[in-house]
Homo-oligomer: A and B are copies of this chain.
């Protein structure tokens, strides 16, 4: 039942269609919540049935009609209630780390390749995050932003993504060097 709240929280950014949410999830929430589009559509149905979101049809000029969803008051209350609950322990499942754990019994070259690839992905993510961060800050300092902005949650969550990807790159570099030294290339 936790995808529910992740979806509700995503709708804090304003009303949005399932399709848009699916994309937004990829960019803004992907750091701390993964979900496929199918999950979102299904859960939005349920949220609407439970009255936490409201749907309305929007006809568009040169595109298919879409259904946009908006938080109801009940939805906002659910978010408040959620922030008062103890967060469940986070879930992580990372194939790459399983490969690393098994590296000595496996194919070192391939695992090294996988780490290198991961470093690349992290660099790209980091670049996107930094751009997003600059849009938040608009030339000011972080301290300024945190003191004055209307909402700081999305910025703080983004900051975590930045820290995370930085660490990914740092760790990856160390691990890659160690494995390459081993496999004797």
Contact = CB atoms under 8 A, between A and B. Distances in A.
- Integer count of this chain's copies in the complex: 2
Given A98-B33, A102-B9, A159-B174, A91 B90 contact: no
A55 B122 CA distance: 41
Interface string A76-107: 10011011101111111111111111111111
A62 interface: no
Interface in A156-185: 156-157, 159-160, 163-164, 166-167, 170-171, 174-175, 178-179, 181-182
Interface residues of A, number: 67
Interface of A: 2, 5-6, 8-9, 12, 29, 31-34, 76, 79-80, 82-84, 86-107, 110-111, 114, 117-118, 146-147, 150-154, 156-157, 159-160, 163-164, 166-167, 170-171, 174-175, 178-179, 181-182
